[in-house]
């Protein structure tokens, strides 16, 4: 499988590099770069790309929380800007709406790439919490003003053909600055989204990374390509390909998850992992939110399991470092569910054997994810083993007794108790006393008896304090 992935990665890299390689070859050998004057084709391909960008913007808004989520808000604005500004590049094609060539055709191509890159990059930078809270409150207003600005740009370009004549985008120095800046911003954004992809490996994340890499190639071709030649046409193809890839990945995500919201959920977790790797543990909350968003029926499950596990750990006199690892593993124990389709996790009835088999994969998948994350690597084996049972009846490895890490045995007890006392659409909720009775029944056979006794003792102490 690793060999297949390597070949696939090399193939994707080759495809991505091809337009720039051709541009270099064409500039060195102009005979290989024929002139293609096709105003009609230009009108329609640019129009189609602009519509696709508008569709991507609309999908982000409709799919979930784009106007309340900082990252998605600016991604939506980026696509809206590309759609509106690039549409001018097509609409003003000589021989259609415009009777001759105007500077707005060239200027709009540059502005669409640069503005799109700027807004995508704004979405991936770290912002102070106060700024994020403001954006969450005013997201609708920010989006509305951006839409008005784009609309004014389009209207002025259509009604006042010469209004962009003095914009110096034909100055080579300015072109170099714009091309370098836009390419760098697209690449930075692609890198940040790639961090999320390497964490969860979701199709929508891969799609945004590939799309941004394709868009990063547009500015160099605008800079060095010659108008109406094949090399120049290639940036139009890159624009179109970026949105074809985007919709393909998003379509796969929505189909496997059974929900459009899965797209926004996958994209919104973009940099929590990077912050966690930098030692900013507050960003664990963002990952917890991403996990719990997958299954609204278990809302609050992660935090409750972490609390119960901490109580058990203290009762067993774990060292402070062990307690920190325990809480981290408990908060991340269901991280593998990020890859489980929403349609299965949110099914309002009992799962079929095939669906349950898919859910059971979350333990092994969680281990794989944790192994790729510096901050989680030390608890990867705990995450993998939290569904193992003393008698070997658990999964994914059928471990027995002391083969199961102690922290995993603690989380197993906390997880089991919370599962029994939490509402599920397909079964009745057990009372607190009935759940404790069930824990005692399986203690020493499926669950660690010391851990069960510790949880029962903690509940008893809490009840005495409350009384």
- The continuous run of DSSP H or E covering 327 comes out as helix 320-332
pLDDT of residue 132: 79
Contacts of 98 (CB under 8 A, 6+ apart): 91, 92, 105, 161
pLDDT tens by residue, 69-97 = 778 889 999 999 999 999 998 888 887 77
Contacts of 401 (CB under 8 A, 6+ apart): 390
326 has a pLDDT exceeding 80? yes
**Is there a contact between 82 and 53 (Cβ–Cβ < 8 Å)?**
yes
Side-chain-facing half-sphere of 462: CA atoms under 13 Å:
11
DSSP conformational letter for 393: -
Which DSSP string do the residues of 38-100 spell out, in sequence order? -HHHHHHHHHHHHHHHHHHHHHHHHHS-TTTSHHHHHHHHHHHHHHHHHHHHHHT-BTTTBSS
pLDDT band of 418, cuts 50, 70, 90:
very high
Burial class, 7, CB count within 10 angstroms (exposed 0-12 / middle 13-18 / buried 19+): exposed
pLDDT of residue 287: 61
Average pLDDT over residues 342-349: 74
pLDDT band of 290, cuts 50, 70, 90:
low
**Is there a contact between 54 and 83 (Cβ–Cβ < 8 Å)?**
yes
**Is there a contact between 157 and 108 (Cβ–Cβ < 8 Å)?**
yes
Residue 12 phi, psi dihedral angles, 5° rounding: -65, -40
**Which part of the chain is CATH 1.10.3210.10?**
299-466
**Which part of the chain is CATH 1.20.1070?**
2-267
Burial class, 10, CB count within 10 angstroms (exposed 0-12 / middle 13-18 / buried 19+): exposed
Does 145 or 331 have the greater pLDDT score? 145
CATH topology of domain 299-466: Hypothetical protein af1432 (1.10.3210)
Residue 453 phi, psi dihedral angles, 5° rounding: -60, -40
Is residue 140 reached through a cis peptide bond, with omega within 30 degrees of 0 on the bond before it?
no
pLDDT tens by residue, 128-172 = 878 878 887 888 899 999 999 999 999 998 888 788 888 888 899
**Is there a contact between 170 and 106 (Cβ–Cβ < 8 Å)?**
yes
Q: At what angle do helices 203-216 and 230-257 cross, to 10 degrees?
A: 170
Radius of gyration from C-alpha coordinates of the chain: 27
- The continuous run of DSSP H or E covering 345 comes out as helix 342-345
Average pLDDT over residues 36-55: 90
Average pLDDT over residues 16-37: 91
| Count of CB atoms situated within 10 Å of the CB of 177 | 12
Average pLDDT over residues 379-388: 95
- Mean residue pLDDT of the chain comes to 85
**Is there a contact between 126 and 273 (Cβ–Cβ < 8 Å)?**
no
Comparing 178-182, 330-334, 390-394, the range with the smallest average pLDDT is 330-334
**Is there a contact between 243 and 56 (Cβ–Cβ < 8 Å)?**
yes
**pTM recorded for the entire structure:** 0.76
Which DSSP string do the residues of 144-166 spell out, in sequence order? HHHHHHHHHHHHHHHH-TTTTTT
387 has a pLDDT exceeding 90? yes
Residue 427 phi, psi dihedral angles, 5° rounding: -160, 165
Q: At what angle do helices 320-332 and 301-315 cross, to 10 degrees?
A: 160
CATH of domain 2-267: 1.20.1070
Contacts of 371 (CB under 8 A, 6+ apart): 377, 380
| Count of CB atoms situated within 10 Å of the CB of 180 | 13
Residue 170 phi, psi dihedral angles, 5° rounding: -90, 0
pLDDT of residue 377: 87
Q: Which two tokens stand for residue 78?
A: 């980026």
| Count of CB atoms situated within 10 Å of the CB of 128 | 8
Which DSSP string do the residues of 28-45 spell out, in sequence order? H-GGGS-B---HHHHHHH
**Is there a contact between 222 and 109 (Cβ–Cβ < 8 Å)?**
yes
CA distance 273 to 266: 12
């Amino acid at each position: 499988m690793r060999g297949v992935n390597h070949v696939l990665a090399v193939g994707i890299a080759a495809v991505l590099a091809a337009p720039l390689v051709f541009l270099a070859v064409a500039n060195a050998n102009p005979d290989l770069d024929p002139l293609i004057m096709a105003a009609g084709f230009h009108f329609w391909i640019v129009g189609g790309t602009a519509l696709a960008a508008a569709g991507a913007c609309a999908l982000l808004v409709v799919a979930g929380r784009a106007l309340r989520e900082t990252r998605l808000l600016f991604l939506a604005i980026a696509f809206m800007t590309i759609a509106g500004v690039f549409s001018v590049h097509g609409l003003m094609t000589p021989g259609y709406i415009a009777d001759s060539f105007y500077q707005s055709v060239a200027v709009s191509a540059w502005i669409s790439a640069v503005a799109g890159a700027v807004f995508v990059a704004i979405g991936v930078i770290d912002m102070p919490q106060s700024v994020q809270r403001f954006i969450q409150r005013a997201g609708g207003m920010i989006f509305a003003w951006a839409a008005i600005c784009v609309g004014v740009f389009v209207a002025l370009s259509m009604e006042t053909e010469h209004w962009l004549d003095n914009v110096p985008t034909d100055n080579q120095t300015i072109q170099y600055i714009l091309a370098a800046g836009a390419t760098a911003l697209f690449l930075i954004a692609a890198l940040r989204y790639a961090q999320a992809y390497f964490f969860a490996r979701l199709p929508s994340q891969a799609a945004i990374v590939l799309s941004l890499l394709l868009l990063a190639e547009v500015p160099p071709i605008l800079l060095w390509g010659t108008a109406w030649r094949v090399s120049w046409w290639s940036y139009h193809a890159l624009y179109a390909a970026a949105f074809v890839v985007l919709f393909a990945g998003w379509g796969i995500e929505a189909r496997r998850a059974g929900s459009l919201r899965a797209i926004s959920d996958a994209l919104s977790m973009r940099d929590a992992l990077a912050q966690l790797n930098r030692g900013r543990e507050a960003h664990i909350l963002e990952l917890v939110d991403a996990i719990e968003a997958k299954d609204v029926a278990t809302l609050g499950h992660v935090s409750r399991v972490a609390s119960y596990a901490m109580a058990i750990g203290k009762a067993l006199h774990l060292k402070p470092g062990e307690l920190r690892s325990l809480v981290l593993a408990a908060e991340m124990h269901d991280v593998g569910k990020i890859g489980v389709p929403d349609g299965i996790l949110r099914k309002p009835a009992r799962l079929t054997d095939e669906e349950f088999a898919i859910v059971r994969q979350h333990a092994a998948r969680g281990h794989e994810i944790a192994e790729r994350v510096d901050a989680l690597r030390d608890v990867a084996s705990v995450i993998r083993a939290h569904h193992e049972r003393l008698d070997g009846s658990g999964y994914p490895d059928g471990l027995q007794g002391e083969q199961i890490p102690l922290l995993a045995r603690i989380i197993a007890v906390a997880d089991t108790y919370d599962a029994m006392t939490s509402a599920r659409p397909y079964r009745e909720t057990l009372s607190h006393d009935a759940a404790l009775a069930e824990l005692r029944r399986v203690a020493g056979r499926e669950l660690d008896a010391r851990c069960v006794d510790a949880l029962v003792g903690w509940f008893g102490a809490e009840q005495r304090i409350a009384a």
